[in-house]
Structure 1
């Protein structure tokens, strides 16, 4: 089997070759509110959906940094395709933390596609052999093309108490509302999912409190593949940055492509690129993108060093990853804003891809997971020696 470096280069090259087609399909994707079949087939053929699957199941087992570089490349062509791929790939990595029996089920297809509902808006009620799942989850990105749904829910105990739990459920067990009609990331198909009295076998449910108790008792738990134990929240926060970086790169390319021959209306400037303001805007946007990339690279390096050593990131490192992730997202968003505002009134036309990149990054930056204010608060608390006041580290 080829080594990881060869696998990564092959996937990255394949994705680079399809960026023009992904970009070309952007308006169709937005119109249908879901990715064209061609996009999914191209990404699958490139090996994207095998990136986080362990090699023992036929996957590529790429590192966090390698996965993120591929996802950023996808976003250069289609932000929505990158976000859906990020959801499916990150969820596949999360499955490596599940019991062996479930891993064998999910990875029976080496390019497993797993979407999820990561707000605890469902309830698992214990029953013989497992649980009954009931609930509704919004923003279920990628559900229209997924094989499984990874849903956050509460386990309802007989004494009325509740425990957090994560349930892995075949996508066919859900019903979906046709309610995804959004001004940003329209093609992610992030419909609302509903489960009604769905039986979930016990081995498909992970209850973190019980897993922690088992670890304390010395019970052996599944270990991620060597060098892939990044820490759950650090992995998810840092990998989300990849789509933003790719959107910003794509927007910069689109801006540069439109410049030749463009004048500045109602002025004597016949070449926009000759104007000092445009030069400042291009330089500022490029610098913000480079800064976001540097922050991301630093996060990936820290997490890989810890994973290679078989160590958990420190509290300070985990808090920094939350803060730096959000700040990298902010830098990428600001870069796109500069480029959009420098593009003239014609940029608002729907056939101009730059307007979609702008809307997508604006909407995506509102995601509670990577919101600047809340993440900076956590980071600042730890910097100042205070309790982080959140379990999401």
Structure 2
């Protein structure tokens, strides 16, 4: 059966409420499939089919291309909801869906290269800039590199590979480019054997001396908010949001939904459970009650802060403005802090689960592993984001060419 023939081509009339209902409709199914997704170490074909059918990769695709073009907060809300079922799936929806946003910032010819063939083409990314090297040539760049952690790459037709442009191998970077490369031009190295987020298929990508035309090499200095190379085709306020500043929010949704799932599963399994040794009800222990309240507060705080940042960024974009550096650093600090809160909530819940949580068939052990896998992402290193914010707040200079 041809999956593509069954996928609607236009989701432009789907609003945020409808998108969330569609995400909610998949939660129970994703939870059932989560063990198989982990075993496959990549997105399941049947799950990809469902996500395409419901348009859940296309929440930030331009309406002119049949996408939903929802406000920025959708990336938090939709991925958090899907993560209640399977954090690995949610991680890929957050990643791959956000790349429709990124493609909207490229010159129109690059957009046509991808969406002209199919509006449903998935685009992976490999954003470790030092892992790729490029040199400028007539009409574009020649790039090489070996990039780790390209989530969802097996299912993707294209990839966005990060490179530094140098005048000589040992010279400092003069430019940072995100190069749009077709899957026929790079090799996928099957090395994703991980403790958490097992089902993301975040494999290594390698290419050697390939030519990337100028229109497919997005300059990161051009997407710090406001005007961008794709603005003529995509003038909406969504695409004026500073993506690097809000990069952590892009991936914080799965952490939020994973924490919510852990909380819900704990409540479901412990309302009437008794201890093995004394037969006392778990729910009667005051220490348990207090920890439940603490985890709930951590999750609520993270959700409120993430959504508030996204709403503020959209309001600034609608006003035709660009957030100042203080605000951009605040977004990065807040995203890292919120994921830290989510990890702490999962740890709190898991600490009350006892030995039952250690079994491989327990969804709580998956929540625990996935929480710490998400926390390990560079966007969520609070010491890094917090130090930059604190340095600037105290009057120091913070230099980041992509902010």
Band the TM-score falls in, shorter-chain normalisation? over 0.9
Which residue is equivalent to 2:123? Answer: 114
1:238 is aligned to 2:249 = yes
Contact 1:131 1:202 in 2 (8 A): yes
Identify unmatched segments of 5+ residues in structure 2.
1-9
2:214 to 202, 218, 242: 202
Contact 1:54 1:225 in 2 (8 A): no
2:370 to 344, 360, 379: 360
1:125 to 118, 123, 135: 135
Which residue is equivalent to 2:103? Answer: 95
Contact 1:74 1:246 in 2 (8 A): yes
SS where residue 48 of structure 1 aligns? Answer: coil
Contact 1:59 1:111 in 2 (8 A): no
Distance 1:2 1:187 in 2: 27
1:182 to 181, 189, 194: 194
The correspondence of residues 128-277 of structure 1 with structure 2, limited to 5 A, is: 128-157=138-167, 161=171, 162=173, 163-208=175-220, 221-223=229-231, 224-228=234-238, 229-269=240-280, 271-277=281-287
1:377 to 387, 395, 398: 387
Contact 1:90 1:236 in 2 (8 A): no
Structure 1 window deviating more from structure 2 (383-392 vs 277-286): it is 383-392
Contact 2:16 2:70 in 1 (8 A): yes
SS where residue 298 of structure 1 aligns? Answer: helix
1:45 to 45, 49, 53: 53
Contact 2:165 2:177 in 1 (8 A): yes
Distance 1:314 1:220 in 2: 17
Deviation at 1:3, TM superposition (A): 7.1
Identify unmatched segments of 5+ residues in structure 1.
none
Which residue is equivalent to 2:346? Answer: 336
Deviation at 1:207, TM superposition (A): 3.2
Structure 1 window deviating more from structure 2 (87-96 vs 233-242): it is 233-242
CA displacement, residues 30-60 of structure 1 (integer Å, 9 cap, x when unaligned): 1111121111111111211111111111111
SS where residue 294 of structure 1 aligns? Answer: helix
CA displacement, residues 221-241 of structure 1 (integer Å, 9 cap, x when unaligned): 432431211112123122222
TM-score by length of 2: 0.90
TM-score by length of 1: 0.92
Deviation at 1:167, TM superposition (A): 0.5
Which residue is equivalent to 1:85? Answer: 93
SS where residue 382 of structure 1 aligns? Answer: helix
Distance 1:91 1:125 in 2: 24
Deviation at 1:273, TM superposition (A): 1.0
SS where residue 313 of structure 1 aligns? Answer: coil
Contact 1:64 1:235 in 2 (8 A): no
Contact 1:53 1:107 in 2 (8 A): no
SS where residue 244 of structure 2 aligns? Answer: helix
Deviation at 1:387, TM superposition (A): 1.5
Q: Report the count of equivalent residues.
A: 385
The correspondence of residues 55-74 of structure 1 with structure 2, limited to 5 A, is: 55-74=63-82
Contact 2:246 2:332 in 1 (8 A): no
Over aligned residues, Cα RMSD in angstroms? Answer: 2.2
Which residue is equivalent to 1:295? Answer: 305
2:34 to 10, 26, 35: 26
Distance 1:380 1:305 in 2: 25
Distance 1:198 1:184 in 2: 33
SS where residue 199 of structure 2 aligns? Answer: helix
Which residue is equivalent to 2:325? Answer: 315
CA displacement, residues 41-92 of structure 1 (integer Å, 9 cap, x when unaligned): 1111121111111111111111111232111111111100111111111122
SS where residue 84 of structure 2 aligns? Answer: helix
Q: How has the CA–CA distance of structure 1 residues 389 and 127 changed in structure 2, closer, same or farther, with 3 Å as cutoff?
A: closer
Q: How has the CA–CA distance of structure 1 residues 189 and 220 changed in structure 2, closer, same or farther, with 3 Å as cutoff?
A: closer
Deviation at 1:366, TM superposition (A): 1.1
